[in-house]
Amino acid sequence: MKILVPVKRVVDANVKVRVKADGLGVELANVKMAMNPFDEIAVEEAIRIKEAGKAEEIIVVSVGPQQAQETLRTALAMGADRAILVKTDEQTEPLGVA
């Protein structure tokens, strides 16, 4: 069995989020980004399943800009076997990605 884990690049949980001056979004310039904490838990659980011998490969996938590679590299460092980046420079919404 192979396990596919979707991961998302989000603003780091330890960073204070600022609203843009126009009030229509979040300021992302010069903000530290990280893997969504819930996605990190999902990667850890996939690793546990693999270590128990119930899976043979863990694949992480992300949809987003080129910078999302950092998030995928984090998942690879945690123990995932492969990573796939669907690169897009457009603003993605969860429903559209799904």
Summarize pLDDT for 16-75 with one digit per residue, the tens.
888 888 887 777 778 888 999 999 999 999 999 999 999 999 999 999 999 999 999 999
Alpha helices in 1-98 (DSSP H): 37-51, 69-78, 94-97
Residue 11, pLDDT score: 86
Query: Rounded to an integer, what distance in angstroms lies between the CA atom of residue 75 and that of residue 85?
Result: 12
